[in-house]
Structure 1
Amino acid sequence: MFTNVGVQGTDLAALFNAVPNPYVILTPDFIIVGMNEAYLRVTMRRREDIIGLSVFEAFPSDPASASNRMLRASLERVIRNRAREDLPFIPYPIQRPDGVMEMRYWSATHTPLFEPDGSVRHVVQHTVDVTELHNLRISLGANASSPALLIEGEVFDRAEAVQQANAKLDRERQRLQTLFEQAPAFTAVLRGPDHLVELANAAYLRLAGDRPLVGLTAREAFPELAGQPVLDALDRVYRTGEAFVAHGLSVMLRPAPGLPPEEHVLDLIYQPVVDADGSVGGIFVQGQDITEQRRAEDALRERELELRKLNESLEMQVAERTRERDRLWRLSGDLMGVCREDGVLEAVNGAWSDLLGWSESDLLALGFLDLVHPEDVAATRAALARSREAPASPRFENRCRRSDGTYRVLAWTLAADTGRLYIVGRDMTDQRLTEEQLRQSQKMEAVGQLTGGIAHDFNNLLQGITGSLDILRRRVAQGRTAELERFVDNAMGSATRAAALTHRLLAFSRRQPLDPKPVKINPLVLSMEDLLRRTMGENIHLELGLADGLWLTLCDANQLENVILNLVINARDAMPDGGRLTLETCNAHLDDSYAARVPGVTAGQYVCLAVSDTGTGMAPDVIARAFDPFFTTKPIGQGTGLGLSMIYGFARQSEGQCHIYSEVGAGTCVKLYLPRHRDGDAAPSGAPGPEARESGGAGGVVLVVEDDRVVRGLILEVLRELGYAALAAEDGQAGLDLLMSDRRIDLVITDIGLPRLNGRQMVDAARETRCDLKVLFMTGYAETAAVAAGFLEPGMTMVTKPFAVAHLAERIRAMLEPAQP
Structure 2
Amino acid sequence: MDQGPQIETVEELYEHAPCGYLSTLPDGTIIRANQTFLDWIGIARQDLVGHKCFQDLLGVGGRIFHDTHLTPLLRMQGFVNEIAFDLTCADGRSLPVLANTVQKRDEAGHPVVNRIWLFNATDRRKYERELLLARQKAEQSAQEFKRLNETLEERVAHEVAERLKAEDAMRQSQKLEVVGQLTGGIAHDFNNLLTVIKSSTDLLKRPDLSDERRDRYVGAISDTVDRAAKLTGQLLAFSRRQALKPEVFDAGQAVRMLGEMVGTLTGARVQVVTHLPEEPCFINADPSQFDTALVNIAVNARDAMEGEGRIIIAVRPVEEMPAVRAHAAVRGLYVAVSISDTGSGIPIGQLERIFEPFFTTKGVGQGTGLGLSQVFGFAKQSGGEVVVESMVGQGTTFTLYLPRVSASVGAMVAMAETEQTEDGRGTCVLVVEDNRDVGTFVTQTLDELGYRTHWVESAQAALDELAASPGVHEIVFSDVVMPGMNGVELAREVQRLYPDLPLVLTSGYSHVLAQEGGHGFELLQKPYSVEALSRVLRKAASRSQGQRLRAR
TM-score, normalising length: structure 2: 0.36
Higher-Rg structure is 2
* Larger helix share, 1 or 2: 2
TM-score, normalising length: structure 1: 0.25
